[in-house]
Amino acid sequence: MITKPFENTKIILFKTPDEQKLMKDAIKKVESEFGKEYPLIIDGKEIFNSEKIKSTNPSKPSEIVGLVSKASKSQAAEAIEKAYKNFSWWSKESQAKRSAILLRAAEIMRQRKMELSATMVVEIGKNWVEADADTAEAIDFMEYYAREGLRYSQETPLMRINGEDNHQVYIPLGVGIVIPPWNFPLAITTGMTTAALVTGNTVVLKPASDTPVIAYKLVEILKEAGLPDGVLNFVPGSGGEVGDTLVDHPLTRFVSFTGSMEVGKRIYERASKVNPGQKWLKRVVAEMGGKDYIIVDENADLESAANGIVQGAYGFQGQKCSACSRAIIDEKVYDKMVELINERVQKIKVGDTREFPVPDVHYYNMGPVSSASSKAKIMSYMEIGKKEGRLVTGGKEIDLNGGYFIEPTVFADIKPLSKMEQEEIFGPVLSIIKSESFEKSIEIANDTIYGLTGSVYTNDRKKIKKATEELLTGNLYINRGCTGALVGVHPFGGFNLSGTDSKAGGPDYLLLFLQAKVYSEKV
């Protein structure tokens, strides 16, 4: 059925007028749908509730991207019960059929690529290239997991013994609760949802409240691709209101979560309790925050390191779990690096991402941060930064159309173990830390509760070896930036309180949604 090997989707840089026109038209189309109402979906039935999530444009919050029905607690429970009923037949569908649905959905996404990316430009403030990369990753996840599903459906070779015929096969788990974040609202939502579906599980998807419209479009695409009713249930709602109901329900078999450490820990703890009527131990796949770093050694290519730091710190306004929030610089090149970083930051433009078609190669234009509450949280760190270090540039809000804009901000002379150095800020704020040696840089990098991404710039092979051996980082890069993991190329997931190291987009990922069954026949 699948004839071509997996290949990553090419990202569009919008350099040509034709590409730019496609995005401008798509933005117009999406704007023409502002204010549209979207239902929740349980067992294939569309339900419009009077209570809605108002999804607004963070560049201009007076614009309502969509009004999405909000599920009540009883509807969340009903969705799990229906998903449980539908597991009985979906789990028995052939792998070929399940994989084919993902491939068709990937094809529909390719056809609707500009519209999906334009939706993210207005619903969460991605610039065009970042939005295109998000859609490309969603396509890649489906192409990759369709193939991986087929691989896992093959029997595992076992040792043979005389007098017995032994087999190991992988079977699905049951009902999965999928809880994604808003920051990769198509890619991560698609990856988490389709990994669970392709392995034969049924799903209750609770999208992030800041991005329910793009999540609805994923559900619509999977239906069009042939996913039967009731296999994927869509229950938008505030995590604080329906989250516990979804996690605690005795019919919930697993929770696949990506988001903050605080919420991840809560889910992990609640899911560990065996509730009345529950027949299993719930599995939790939790991918959480980071305090990611770039180490710059004394003999590194400094220009290239500065490019990596600036891209990593300010791409999508620093709102990536992989964002570079710490630059750990050898004291011998410290002053020069602060200067190179600052030079680049001065060139970043901030504004409504609809109007920023052409990023140049190194300096990604910045849009707004995701919400008023994110903005308030990030701004609270500006005061902390001023006390703990030296403000090099930025530090202020930008008043534009009521949007949630913040200047790209650099703090230098931040000390190891300070708040700025330890806590995930999740915004366009970089802390620069001076280090007396490469060994000390490694110690500083490792000394947080997280362990998601990091990068080392050095031209010394011995130091590269030391870094790969000693840095406790789920995704470590050498002489390149710390963001931009590609499906199939850089399986993604972190250590310690960054999560369960699930390695999304890699060969071990689907195993998290399967269990091995062994049967042995006397012959």
Q: Does residue 260 interact with ligand NAP by CB under 6 A?
A: yes
Q: How many residues bind ligand NAP (CB under 6 A)?
A: 32
- Out of 69, 117, 258, 353, point to the residue binding ligand NAP (CB under 6 A): 258
| Of 255, 251, 277, residue with least CA distance to 268 | 255
Contact 365, 349 (CB under 8 A): yes
Q: Which range touches ligand NAP (CB under 6 A), out of 20-28, 31-39, 221-229, 287-295?
A: 287-295
Which of 137, 287, 298, 424 is the catalytic position?
Answer: 287
Q: Residue 122 and residue 100: Cα distance in Å, rounded? A: 31
- Is position 324 annotated as part of the catalytic site? no
CB of residue 287 to ligand NAP, shortest distance in Å: 3
Q: Give yes or no for residue 209 binding ligand NAP (CB under 6 A).
A: yes
| Residue 239 sits in the site that holds ligand NAP (CB under 6 A) | yes
Is there binding between residue 58 and ligand NAP (CB under 6 A)?
no
Stretch binding ligand NAP (CB under 6 A), from 2-10, 122-130, 285-293, 430-438:
285-293
- Does 307 participate in binding ligand NAP (rule CB under 6 A)? no
Which amino acid is present at 12? I
Question: Which of these segments, 89-97, 240-248, 350-358, 378-386, binds ligand NAP (CB under 6 A)?
Answer: 240-248
Which amino acid is it at 237?
A: G
178 bridge partner residues: 205, 256
Which of 424, 429, 431, 477 is in the footprint of ligand NAP by CB under 6 A? 424
Sign of CA dihedral 107, 285, 245, 231: positive
Coil, strand or helix at 283: strand
**CB neighbour burial string for 264-274, b if at least 16 within 10 angstroms, e if fewer:** bebbbebbeee
Q: Give the active site residue among 321, 324, 407, 424.
A: 321
Active site includes 78? no
- CA dist 60 and 446 (Å) reads 39
Between strands 514-522 and 164-172, the pairing is antiparallel
- From candidates 115, 140, 287, 352, binder to ligand NAP by CB under 6 A: 287
From 102-110, 124-132, 152-160, 283-291, give the range in contact with ligand NAP by CB under 6 A. Answer: 283-291
Looking at this protein, which amino acid is placed at residue 401?
N
Interface residue with ligand NAP among 9, 75, 119, 183 (CB under 6 A) is: 183
| Site mask for ligand NAP (CB under 6 A), range 187-206, x = bound | -x-----------------x
| H or E stretch covering 502 | none
With binding defined as CB under 6 A, does residue 182 bind ligand NAP?
yes
Beta-carbon contacts of 59 under 8 Å, excluding residues fewer than 6 positions away, are 122, 125, 351, 352, 353, 354, 367, 368, 401, 403, 405
Q: Report which of 388, 378, 439, 386 is spatially closest to residue 417, judged by C-alpha positions.
A: 388
Q: What residue ranges in 192-277 does DSSP mark as E strands?
A: 202-205, 232-234, 252-258
Q: Is 238 helix (H, G, I), strand (E, B) or coil?
A: coil
Rounded to a whole number of angstroms, the minimum distance from the CB of residue 108 to ligand NAP is: 24
Q: How many residues does the chain have?
A: 523
Interface with ligand NAP includes 426 (CB under 6 A)?
yes
Residue with Cβ nearer ligand NAP (183 or 448): 183
**Minimum CB distance to ligand NAP smaller for 122 or for 369:** 369
Residues engaged in binding ligand NAP (CB under 6 A): 179-184, 188, 206, 208-209, 238-240, 243, 247, 258-260, 263, 266-267, 287-290, 321, 424, 426, 452, 494, 498-499
Q: What are the catalytic residues? A: 287, 321
